[in-house]
Amino acid sequence: MKKHIDFGIIETWPDNLKRLVFDFSEEISSEKKADWENILAGKAHYNIIPMPTFDRVKSEIEELLIGSSALAWHCTKLVNPERIRSEGLRPFSVKLIKELIKFDLSHIFSVKEQDLILKKIDKHNRSGLFDGRSNQLWFLLNREMWSDIGCREFFDFFGGEALRKVIESELPEYLPFLKKVGEPYLLEFPVKLKHIASYQISHLTDELINFGINTMTGELEPYIFAEGRVYEKIPSAKFIKLSSFNEI
């Protein structure tokens, strides 16, 4: 199997990445300190502090990442894990939400209640509520993040963030049912980093640089916090592991 970067396990990092993250930490830390002192002194508007090492290292890390693949994790709550194993992981869509209501919640809600939820979904879709999420698939780029509050919320209710917003605003009495139905799962799969947004590559690079500095200084516990998104389905053939909450 092709080797993928696991940002939570340094041993999986390419040697070039480890060199860039750790070998220039002291220089970059000094540059960042000088820049911050310049800001605190109120001179940033007319006295720009150059950070040549940071700029070069960031550019090289970004180039390296774009040519690499990494492990990713998707937090979700499932009623039927076998379906995702056979159909793969699909990006968010209104069609997908409606399917979840009809097939996964049919034992919870009556046909009349399902129709009511679907009407509320259509209402929010027309208002543009889903525009920022449509056709996107979000995931973590560090497995350690599964315990972060943002991910744990996906373990807390069924149907994802979009469905929760609809229910909370329109049918709050149904929210307890979304909390009870399904089991939390963490899905692991590889992703080519060139497919995630450029700003996410930039953020990941900053996290890696700060990881190197924190490792050097010991001031903070190193923790790489990064996520990504793609606009295509993840076929089940690419799945590495689907873990229930009890196995995490």
Is the Cβ–Cβ distance between 194 and 230 less than 8 Å? no
Please say whether the beta carbons of 90 and 189 come within 8 A: no
Taking residue 247's Cβ as centre, other Cβ atoms within 10 Å add up to 9
- pLDDT in single tens digits along all 248 residues of the chain: 358 999 999 999 999 999 999 999 999 999 999 988 988 888 878 888 899 999 999 999 999 999 999 999 998 899 989 999 999 999 999 999 999 899 899 889 999 999 999 999 999 999 888 887 888 999 999 998 887 666 777 778 888 888 888 999 999 999 998 888 889 999 999 999 999 999 999 999 999 999 999 999 887 777 799 999 999 999 999 999 999 877 76
Report which DSSP code applies to 12: G
Q: What is the pTM of this model?
A: 0.89
pLDDT of residue 150: 63
Distance, first Cα to last Cα, the chain: 23
CA 122 and chain centroid, separation = 26
pLDDT at 1: 39
CA dihedral 192, 198, 199, 205 (to 10 degrees): 60
Supply the pLDDT for residue 248. Answer: 66
Domain spans of the chain, in order of start: 10-68+199-224
